[in-house]
Every structure is written in C-alpha cells, then in structure tokens.
C-alpha cells in the first residue's frame, strides 16, 4: 500500500455488510480496510487501536449505537478519524444527530460501490460536502427545531468578514469552486479561507462548518 492509501474501519453488526463492504473497498487501489467492528463499543475500541482515516459507521447497532459511538470517537482528540455514517433509514433525526455528534458524512447503504468509494475519499480529504438532499433535510430539521440550538455566536467574531462570507456559502452546500466563482476569487484562495475557518473554530471539516453556521445563527434556515 502507498503512503496515500486511505485506511478504513467498517462498523456494522451484520457480517454480510462488513464482508461485502470490505471486498468492495479493497478493490480500490487507494483504499484499504484495516479492520471491522461488530457494534458501537467495538468500533470505539478498534478506532483507538487502529487509527483509521475513515470509519464507516452503521447507525443501529447493539451495545452502543452509531451516533453514540461517533460522539465518543470525535470527542477524543487522540483519534482524529473521520466518521461516515451508513444507514438504511433515510430519516431526518439520524442526519441531524449524526452530524451534531461529529460525523463528516451521511450515506445510505443502498448507494453504489463507486459512490461509497468516492464518499470515503471525500471524507478522508476533509472536503466533505453534504449531498443536496441531505442538506435540505438538515436545514429542514434546524427549521423545525428552531435554530440556533447553542450560544456559539461569539465565535463568529473571530472570523474576518471574508471568512464569514465563505462560511455562510459552505452552509449553503457550495463547493470551493462555486464559492470562488460567487466571490470572484481563486479556488486556492477559498481553500485557504476554509482552512483558517476550521482552525479558528476548532472544526474537523466543512461538514461541521455547515452545522456550526446553522447552530450559531449565521445562516437562517428557510422553510
């Protein structure tokens, strides 16, 4: 394996799912499945031991569910693994709770093999963007719950005016290229702004930045 290989841990209580995803991902030249976990508690333990780049995390598992396992992993600074939530249940509360718990992406299990592999790559790169349908559900959930949910507005003051603009556009689901076109700046400049935003706010990736933007009240959900 090369130094750029993405190391993946698969956490699912169904053996067939673990085996199927392992075979599928190991056919990719840049992805290696380094381990599997049979439940949420096992996922937390294996993540701490193996330090995978990405954890594919099922939602409904015994011992510790995927949301709780995700929270446990992302709250531990010594395990900077990114979490990609996998579920058969396309429900708002799963999207919302998974992202609030620190997940970097959300994918249904019936996705194609190529989409799964690409999702792993995107999440590993830290450039995760919520799929449009997921973004709509997330915004809808914030509307229903009455965002902002937490007093994070003060942290916005740490950002420059341009960084605040970029954060708002991230929350709308725009890519770096789209943000660059909107602001009439180079894509590399946008990448620099995104990096500074994540650093100042202590966030893992742009998915978390989108959640932050809604929870802080910077972006107001439109019903």
Q: Report pLDDT digits (tens) over 141-173.
A: 665 655 445 545 567 888 999 999 999 998 887
What is the pairing mode between strands 105-108 and 82-87? parallel
Cα 206–Cα 58–Cα 221 angle in degrees, nearest 5: 40
| Tens digits of residue pLDDT in 131-142 | 555 555 665 666
In angstroms, the CA 153 to CA 216 distance is 5
- Please state the separation of Cα 168 from the chain's center in Å: 17
Domain range 6-128, CATH class: alpha beta
Closest CA to 111 of 92, 129, 84, 135: 84
| Tens digits of residue pLDDT in 14-34 | 999 999 999 999 999 999 999
In angstroms, the CA 218 to CA 148 distance is 9
Better-predicted residue by pLDDT, 210 or 61: 61
- The pTM (predicted TM-score) of the whole model is 0.75
Instruction: Determine the CATH number of domain 147-215.
Output: 1.10.10.10
For the chain, the farthest-separated pair of C-alpha atoms sits apart, in whole angstroms, at: 50
Contact 163, 203 (CB under 8 A): no
In angstroms, the CA 129 to CA 204 distance is 13
Phi and psi, residue 117, nearest 5°:
-60, -40
Domains 6-128 and 147-215 share a fold: no
Residue ranges per domain, the chain? 6-128, 147-215
In angstroms, the CA 54 to CA 8 distance is 5
Cis peptide before 170 (omega within 30 of 0): no
Better-predicted residue by pLDDT, 40 or 125: 40
Q: How many CA atoms lie within 13 A of 21 on its CB side?
A: 29
In angstroms, the CA 70 to CA 64 distance is 10
Closest CA to 52 of 23, 11, 112, 90: 11
In angstroms, the CA 178 to CA 197 distance is 17
Q: How many CA atoms lie within 13 A of 56 on its CB side?
A: 35
Contact 90, 51 (CB under 8 A): no
At residue 206, the pLDDT reads 80
At residue 37, the pLDDT reads 97
**Rg for the chain (alpha carbons), in Å?**
17
Residue with tokens 């620190």: 102
Phi and psi, residue 174, nearest 5°:
-80, 145
How high does pLDDT run on average in the chain? 84
At residue 164, the pLDDT reads 94
């Amino acid at each position: 394996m090369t130094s750029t290989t993405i190391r993946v841990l698969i956490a699912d209580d169904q053996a067939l799912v673990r085996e199927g995803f392992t075979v599928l991902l190991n056919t990719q030249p840049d992805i290696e499945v380094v381990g599997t976990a049979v439940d949420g508690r096992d996922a937390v333990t294996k993540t701490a031991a193996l330090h995978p780049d990405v954890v594919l995390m099922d939602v409904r598992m015994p011992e510790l569910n995927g949301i709780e396992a995700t929270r446990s992993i992302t709250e531990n600074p010594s395990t900077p693994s990114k979490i990609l939530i996998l579920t058969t249940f396309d429900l708002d509360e799963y999207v919302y709770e998974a992202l609030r718990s620190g997940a970097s992406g959300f994918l249904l299990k019936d996705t194609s093999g190529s989409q799964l592999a690409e999702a792993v790559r995107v999440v590993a790169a830290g450039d995760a963007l919520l799929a449009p349908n997921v973004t709509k559900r997330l915004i809808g959930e914030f509307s229903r719950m009455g965002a902002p949910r937490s007093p994070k507005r003060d942290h916005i003051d740490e950002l420059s005016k341009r960084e605040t603009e970029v954060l708002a556009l991230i929350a709308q689901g725009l890519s770096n290229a789209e943000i660059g076109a909107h602001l009439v700046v180079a894509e590399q400049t946008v990448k620099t702004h995104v990096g500074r935003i994540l650093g100042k706010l202590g966030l893992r990736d742009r998915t978390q930045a989108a959640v932050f933007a809604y929870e802080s009240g910077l972006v107001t959900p439109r019903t």
